[in-house]
Chains A and B, each alone.
Chain A
Amino acid sequence: MTSHRTDDDAFAARAKARFDDSVRQLDAGTRSTLAQGRQAALDAAGAPRRPAWFQWMPAAGLATAVAVVAVLLRAPGIEPSLPGAGDADIEILLGGDSIEMLEDLEFYAWMEQQALDEGHDAG
């Protein structure tokens, strides 16, 4: 058992060494693009915050678009033109922000729970 664990650890160490090597090999152009992305994030951190209700507007628009497309596809006398396309597919095609936002909401709940747990632990 210990030997197996040691072998696993040795394998992981070799994989980590190869991975770190591949990170060091990143070319100047890629590093420059990463730096530009980092600057965009820093700009976003300094940008004025939008009010909370504003963040829901894209999702509301998307939900409306999904509803319109779904109604059109299911209107009497109109056959769906894309076999196998469900509401989820339509939503993904129209844009992914709502999915990410829903996952964020789950994450927000988790973060809140973490904060509550920390509060209980501290108390």
Chain B
Amino acid sequence: MNGGAGPGTLGLTDALCSGDEALPDERELNRFLAGVEGRALRIAEIAVRDRDEALDLVQDAAIRLARSYLARPVAEWTPIYYRILQNGIRDWHRRQRVRRRVMAWFGRRADDDDARDPVAEAPDPGGRTPDELLAADEAMAALSEAIRRLPERQQEAFMLRTFEGLDVAATAAAMGCSDGSVKTHYSRAVHTLRDRLGEHWS
């Protein structure tokens, strides 16, 4: 199973099953997670519209990365982490759809508290005037809403490329698709967002 891997690279199956591989430096993991978690939270929050749910998704992704992929080179952690996070977000949406169907069957709404806008709840420690703060909040809220209206794959491509700064190959790895698909999803997302937000949005 490990036959074709390069020198010093654990086969993934070996890494998962051996149980006795040396753990990498936890400081490296701490540094990686500390660097990525704020952006990951906001990306998840835009996708699911709920900060608590987003916090759970981010924590779950961190734990899965720690448990299953620490044997991988550190350079691969970012696409792996976002792959796990995006899988979590997709599963969350699936469960919400099923839950809504079930709750509708019981005559109740499953998303009664979905009207919360976590973007608007975030305080500003930057010392800006209320007008500046309001303008920034409104711009981000408009962007978040426009992103939410995109198809899921376009959302993923846009947020991973623009917000996380992943290149096309890393985004493709995180999304589990080809480089060409990433370029297509990203291009369509940017054009749609520009159309919806207008030229004066900033």
- A interface residues (Cβ-Cβ under 8 A, vs B): 7-8, 11-12, 14-16, 18-19, 21-27, 30-31, 33-34, 36-38, 40-42, 44-52, 82-85, 89, 92-93, 96, 99-100, 103-104, 106-108, 110-112, 114-116, 118-120, 122
Total CB contacts across the A-B interface at under 8 A: 177
* A42 CA to B37 CA, complexed, in Å: 14
Nearest Cβ distance between residue A43 and chain B, in whole angstroms? 8
Would A24 and B125 count as touching, CB distance under 8 A? yes
* A107 CA to B84 CA, complexed, in Å: 9
* A19 CA to B66 CA, complexed, in Å: 27
Question: Known contacts being A44-B66, A115-B4, is A12 close to B29, with CB within 8 Å?
Answer: no
List the A residue with the shortest CB-CB distance to B25.
A45
Nearest Cβ distance between residue B120 and chain A, in whole angstroms? 11
List 18 A-B pairs, Cβ < 8 Å.
A15-B162, A19-B42, A19-B162, A23-B39, A26-B42, A41-B29, A45-B29, A45-B66, A49-B19, A82-B105, A85-B101, A96-B94, A107-B87, A108-B13, A115-B2, A115-B5, A118-B5, A119-B4
- Report whether over half of chain B's contact residues are helix, strand or loop; otherwise say mixed: helix
Q: Is the C-beta of B150 less than 8 angstroms from some C-beta in chain A?
A: no
Nearest Cβ distance between residue A25 and chain B, in whole angstroms? 4
* A15 CA to B99 CA, complexed, in Å: 33
Contact of A46 among B26, B126, B193 (CB under 8 A): B26
Q: Is the C-beta of B55 less than 8 angstroms from some C-beta in chain A?
A: yes
Would A115 and B136 count as touching, CB distance under 8 A? no
List chain A residues, Cβ under 8 A from B33: 38, 41
List chain B residues, Cβ under 8 A from A36: 59
A-B contacts besides A19-B162, A26-B41, 4 pairs, CB < 8 Å: A47-B67, A85-B101, A116-B5, A118-B5
